[in-house]
Chains A and B, each alone.
Chain A
Amino acid sequence: MAEVSVLEAVHETLDEVLAADERVFLLGEDLEAGGVFRATDGLSAKYPGRVLDAPLAESSIIGITIGAAHYGQRPIAEIQFADFIHAGFDQLCSEASRWSWRTRGEQYLPMVVRTPWGGGVHGGQHHSQSIEAYYAHMPGIKVVAPSFPADYRSLLKAALADPNPVLFLEHKRTYRLIRQEVEGAPAEDRIGKSRITRRGDDLTVFAYGLMLHESLAAAEELAGEGIECTVVDLLTLNPLDQDTILEAARATGKVLIVHEDTLTGGLGGELAGIIAEHAFEDLDAPIRRLAGPDIPPMPFHEVMESAFMPDRTKIAAAARDLAAY
């Protein structure tokens, strides 16, 4: 079995779900030509009329997805870059998130919105951002951010099977960077579950997306120095898997949370809050957050971009400090 990249995993899964269910269709910008990342390459010809180019209008991409899901189709929308999703914020947060709540489940939305997010691609302010915190704040939307190809496959299928709106975040830097033999690989197919990816006694690192891979690389390096890390792949950012988060935090008593989103109001604050509230007595050190600095977006030039983003070196340095506490 050959290794597949994150992008190949997404592409294969889209192909598979289109083949399996006639109600499934894709809506987004440039999809008929294969999409700017080639995630829908060839699918338009293979599934005529079910891979639809959308005008450049994100609010209606999401709003039309809502209507089609309400009707009984199984739409998968693509927002070309997560940075542009906010034009559809109203549709996601004011409408989709509470469709079930405000009808006591009589009406519901089996819909998925896929979007590439994250930095490390020299994409500047509007092709690099982390947008997860805005949407993970909203009850009623499930937010998923896998790291490994096997999880992309299983969680994309789980997202489609879910009767709720799911925001499916694909880290664009990992599209071609991360490869994995998916046959037999551990894969989480339940939304709402995190996974302890590596176990060690000295400290626990929480991450997702590209930062999960950077954290694993840092853990490998630290192991050579005798510092053993537990690494948690969050996978689902809303609703959070509180049980696994607390179990992993308690296991070492030292917590490092890593995300490339900016620090203030980022997901790290929520994780720290959960851990402080429920596992305070198991902690041996203050919770540490390593995140993008509080400047509005990611800068373009690679020197500034790498300075903005956490990476394995910064994670290892923070982990050493924490281990020594």
Chain B
Amino acid sequence: MTASQTRVPRSSEMLDDYLLSEEQLEAMYRYMLLSRRLEERMMTLNRQGRADFVIAGAGQEAAQVGAGMALKAGTDYAAPYYRDLGVMLVLGMTAREAMLNALGKLDDPNSFGRQMPSHWGSAKRRVLTQSSVVATQLVHAVGVALGAKMRNDPIVAFASCGEGSTSRGDFHEALNFAAIHKLPVIFFVENNGYAISERTEKEMPVPHVADRASAYGIQSAVVDGLDAIAVYQTVRPAVDQARRGAGPFLIEAKCFRMWAHSSDDDHRRYRPREELENWASRDPIALFRQRVEEDCLFPPEDLDAIESGVEVEVRAAAKWALDQPDPSPDDMFGFVYKEGDDG
């Protein structure tokens, strides 16, 4: 496959193949909204001095939720990156857990306050623990897929990253190895146009990350990352064919980073004013609602009910999490080495 064959599917042309039920569409809306409201609350807590650091996926929810819903939660392995709150929620993380994580609380199931927020990990949800070093997780997903292939275990390993990560050697090494061994890996690139302040044209000379896949003999697609349905309908077939043994697939979702890189960044220093002013028209959650309403997919009062439910849930989760115990100094010790014989 050459770069020119990189597909840019539209949701309308694919609806027939992977139709979403009303229930799934409602879940999609709920996850996106939950992700956004949680991040808004986290940012508020940050500005109040109660949360040290926030790194968010606002604007990328459609990509994250659409892709996450294409996986078998609890069966497939995921190596997401730090913006992927939406993926984590689809895989089962609760609002309370997200808030524990944001506050670095002792009971945060991701890292128990040992890592910065949004550095995900969950053994029971098959989410690989991850660091701040970008693209390392892509190779880990390849290793998981290699192990699974050796055991004829029909899982898929999902690895996501931003487009900034695709400059690193690990991205290329991961694609190369996965392609050589035809491993069931989905490389999901959320291209939000920025690696902190560096625009895409400073990161790579080709228009699409997906163009790079052809060099490794990997199938690829570009999808509108603001359209959750299109993302699902692009990722789901790739997941299905990878599970059947067809090898890896790279999907690039064209996204939009609504906020600064993190709570410590001011993106007004490097983003054009008009770009920031126009973000509202590119809000994937508003776009989803608009489409659902226009297409009469389900009644608007259901959407309102979801919104009010999410508001209540987030508020309660934040309040609850603030009262949970912080780690003590001694909580840094232990588990430097896993104890016991592995057997």
Contact = CB atoms under 8 A, between A and B. Distances in A.
Nearest to B142: A64
Nearest to B180: A55
Contacts of A57: 169, 173, 176-177
A67 B140 contact: yes
Given A104-B112, A107-B121, A163 B340 contact: yes
B136 interface: yes
A71 B76 CA distance: 11
Given A54-B177, A60-B170, A94-B136, A71 B342 contact: no
Interface in B134-148: 136, 139-148
Contacts of B312: none
A104 B339 CA distance: 11
A105 B338 CA distance: 6
A159 to B, nearest CB: 11
A68 interface: yes
B335 to A, nearest CB: 4
A66 B143 contact: yes
A67 B114 CA distance: 21
B65 interface: no
B129 interface: yes
B296 interface: no
Given A94-B133, A106-B123, A70 B111 contact: no
Contacts of B341: 161-163
Given A54-B177, A60-B142, A140-B337, A94 B131 contact: yes
A73 B338 contact: no
A49 B146 CA distance: 11
Interface string A108-128: 101000000000000000000
Contact of A103 (B121, B140, B147): B121
Given A55-B176, A59-B173, A60-B173, A164 B337 contact: yes
Given A64-B177, A72-B147, A162 B342 contact: yes
A102 B114 contact: yes
Interface string B135-166: 01001111111111011000001000000000
A143 B99 CA distance: 38
B342 A163 contact: yes
Nearest to A97: B336
B272 interface: no
B169 A70 contact: no
A110 B111 contact: no
Contacts of A308: none
Interface string B327-343: 00000001111111111
Interface in A186-202: none
Residue of A72, A90, A98, A106 contacting most chain B CB atoms (<10 Å): A106
Contacts, number: 143
Nearest to A93: B133
A100 B170 contact: no
A59 B338 contact: no
Contacts of B143: 63-71, 75
Interface string A57-89: 101100111111111111100000000000100
Nearest to A66: B140
A68 B143 CA distance: 4
A68 to B, nearest CB: 4
Contacts of B131: 94-95, 98, 102
Residue of B114, B145, B338, B343 contacting most chain A CB atoms (<10 Å): B338
Contact of B139 (A74, A91, A164): A91
A163 to B, nearest CB: 4
Nearest to B132: A94
Interface string B216-237: 0000000000000000000000
B85 interface: no
A161 B343 contact: yes
A160 B156 CA distance: 26
A87 B339 CA distance: 29
Nearest to B109: A106
Contacts of A68: 143-144, 146-147
A99 interface: yes
Nearest to B173: A60
A55 B173 contact: yes
A234 B267 CA distance: 53
B197 interface: no
B88 interface: no
Nearest to B149: A49
A55 B115 CA distance: 32
Interface in B91-141: 111-112, 114-115, 119, 121, 123, 128-129, 131, 133, 136, 139-141
A75 B151 CA distance: 13
Contacts of B115: 102
B124 to A, nearest CB: 8
9 contacts: A57-B169, A60-B142, A70-B140, A72-B147, A95-B136, A102-B114, A102-B115, A162-B341, A163-B339
4 nearest A-B pairs in the assembled complex, by CB-CB distance: A67-B143, A63-B139, A60-B173, A71-B147
Given A57-B169, A140-B336, A163-B338, 20 more contacts: A49-B150, A50-B150, A54-B177, A64-B146, A67-B145, A67-B147, A72-B147, A91-B139, A94-B136, A95-B140, A100-B338, A102-B114, A103-B123, A105-B335, A106-B123, A107-B129, A110-B342, A142-B337, A161-B342, A164-B337
